Amino acid sequence: MKIPRIALAAYGFAILIVVVDQLTKAWIISGLDLRMVGQIPILPPVLNFTWVENRGVSFGLFGDGSARWMLSVFSVVVAGVLGWWALRADRRMLVSAIGLIMGGAIGNVIDRIRFGFVVDFLDFSGTGFFPWVFNVADSAITVGVILLILDSVLSEKAAKVGVAAEKS
């Protein structure tokens, strides 16, 4: 089976996100020793590096760590489905979204399997608008979901324009 070039772009995005995510977490863990320090002001009060062990999912759901393996399996399945979807994708924005979400899911599942938690450290809570601490993988997933929604809206709009043109 030949893998389409556009699918390779999704896989490339995913690999890039995993590498950047894992390198930043390695730096946070070993280079800055943030686990011991707890918090490092970067641009106070806007940005701090703050050590958070996320044992659950968003908003503390399953925060006791009881769902570690279920969440890990779920993330791997999601990444696999996204990888399959990339083989059939034909739009650049869709492929970018798939790659970002896939890479973010894999980056976080690596942590969950290695440590039993996801390492979060980007802390913008000093702004008063965004209280969550997150990481590169989380950012990639968020941007990927936004692109996925945008692609869906734009492709539906393009399809409706095409249908309208054919009726005239």
Active site residues: 120, 138
Q: Please give the torsion angle defined by the CA atoms of residues 6, 7, 13 and 19, in that order, rounded to the nearest 10 degrees.
A: -140
Tell me which H or E stretch contains 128: none
- Residues 55, 57: Cα–Cα separation, whole Å: 7
Distance of alpha carbon 144 from its chain centroid, rounded? 7
What are the strands of the beta sheet with 133-134, ordered from one edge? Answer: 39-43, 47-54, 118-123, 133-134
Query: 125, 130, 154: which is closest to 142 by C-alpha?
Result: 130
Counting Cα atoms < 13 Å in the Cβ hemisphere of 52 gives: 21
Question: H helices of 27-135, where?
Answer: 34-37, 68-88, 92-115
DSSP 8-state assignment for residue 2: P
